[in-house]
Structure 1
Amino acid sequence: MAVWDKKILILWGFMFLLAGAVGQSVNYPRNVCAMKGSTVTLPCTFKTLKSVTENGKEVLIKINRVVWCPNHLICQGSTPSVYDSESKNNNPRYRYLGDKNGNCTLQITNLQKEDNATFRFRVETNRGQATFAGPPGVNVTVNFTQMEIKTESNGEFKRGETLTLKCNAMCTFHQLEVTWFRDGNALPETGPTLQLGPLAAKDSGNYTCGLTNNSITLSQPYSLHVEDEEEAGDVNLPLIAGVVVGVLLAVFTLVLVLCIIKRKQAATAADQLQPSVEGEQKRPDIIYSDIQHPAEQEPQEDISYAAVQFKQKNQARPAAEAEDGVIYSSVASRG
């Protein structure tokens, strides 16, 4: 049996070469890398013969069956397949987006470990010479690492600038269904690239990305800080004004308190001086005269005092009144 299988492989290999020689072919990408849990599309087109000649007659080619299979050279017979147009039990993760007229595109959703394989497309027609599988196939690699956000700039930006964030899976992939988050909240933008700008303060935050409905691929956060000079000025102006007003109020209050204290001190001092003033008013008048040293005194005129007493007849006057009746007079003589 092994020898027979080997002969079949050789035969089909020869048919591959023959198909290429007569214009039958399958075209698809050689390598595709995608994240586990993502959806990947394998673009594919094919060409087959329109007709063949048998016994001198032209026979039109009709496609009866198309097949996608993993890790098999020719996908013939009962070879396990991921899609078979004649089967009703195809795995729903594998969706055929093509037709039987030249489009053979296959889409794989929720990519898993078993999808690390080489997928090939096979066409079966009503004539053997127009039936073939297209080499070399698509080599699919499944990546199990986290997504990564990449950008050419650091996390510090000014208001009005622009920023592009790329959700990278460390390999080439197709139709990556990405969800973006800012501070844990999902953003409406999807796809591997996120465009931000013109930036404002509201754009600041921690950004993450990951495959839609696949939390294990969530990237490490990218921290973005936007310096908004205009908003910063609007915030600081009232603060500065408040500080100035507060300082002025404090100075005014201090001056007012000092004035009140000074007035109270002046009133207290006035109260303390008031009794002595009243006492001085009640004391008899005192006449002060300058007393100079004899040496300093100017020569004065000689003054003689004489007392003249008048007595009234037949009247007796008290001694006190008599004393009041004494009149002093001064007699000045010039030396």
Structure 2
Amino acid sequence: MWISVVVLLPLFWKGITGQIPGYSIQVDSNVTVQEGLCVTIPCTFIADNRSLFNNSTGYWIQRWDPFYRYYIAATNDKSSDVKTTNFRLTGNPDNGDCTLTITDARKEDEGRYFYRFEESKNSRVKYSYGYRGPIVITVTDLTEEPIISDPGTLITGIDKTLTCSPPRNCPGTSLYFQWKKSNVADVWKKNLSTVTFTPSRNDHLENITCEMTNAKGKMTRKTILLDVYYSTVAITGEVIEKGINKSNNIIRAEEGSSVIINCSAESGLFLNDTGTDKKNKASQHGTGKELVLKLDNMATERTGVYTCSVMTKKGIKSKNINAIAQPCAHATMDFTIIIGIVIGNIGALVLIFVGTYFFMKKKMENRQLGKPSPDLGKEEPESTYQELKGQKNDVYQSFKMQ
């Protein structure tokens, strides 16, 4: 698709022999762009000593030697036949602007280009600026890395979107993107320039890589490091021996038992006093993601609230757990049993008192009626004197006579 010199020579005749006073152009003479990427070439011009026009038309023409063939690469004239679709006249000729933009650069785009201006069909102001080719465009292999958008703050459980784009945000369509993550086998996401994922604790200090490939198979890549952290801190407790119970953030342990308190965070710096048992110098150790506090020989004076604090990008995050020491089960008696025993003893005393009262009352009533007491058993026999008195022979008299 080319236009012969026979057709174009009348169009470009004026000005082909050199610059004419009042006509000038400002543009880089040598431009380099990588294959698959883009470039914008700033350009301004003056025609007839002016830079403001009406209904003007601009053309970027590619010249091929040695046959003097010319191709229209870009124009604002919609009726013109253009050779390529990746060249655009982004400047407005009415304002003296001849800026050219190239996207999805290809090796065949290399060559010499010049600018042609026409104020209007009926105007005498028409000029070709350096028809021999004032601009030389060179297309090189792809070497520039893609750009990954700033991940910002990564918090577990909160979605994050990343975008991979060519340098200078070129609107290229011939580029192919794919993503890799160091904790995911093979390719993570294919043929996507934008990905959305939910960070987790497994993503902390892992890598994400975007690979950019052009139409010729040339690939470059960009890698970023993920820094993921919790918006809160997790703290848990465990009774190693003689445990009583655990509910929410409360641990109850028998005296003399051992308790472990574990504090974890995705990232950040544990503060020096985190979880410290200042009274009893409990042992403390940890790694980059957790801190462990061990309370041996749990005692009443160790009862209290233990706090784990972590310094993160958003400030200090803290979490509490309450450890309570209780007396040993074998040294105490269940409260309900004690209450039962007390009530039983009181009941027994009441019964004894009531029984004694009624017994004594009955005995007093019997004495008043002349009845033998119910507790004397059988009736006593009359005295010996009465028995003797009732006999026919007077024993006393018999003794007296003797």
Q: Under TM normalisation by the shorter chain, which class is it?
A: 0.3 to 0.5
User: TM-score, normalized by length of structure 2?
Assistant: 0.36
* Larger relative contact order (Cα-Cα within 8 Å, sequence gap ≥ 6): 1
Between Structure 1 and Structure 2, whose CA radius of gyration is higher?
A: 1
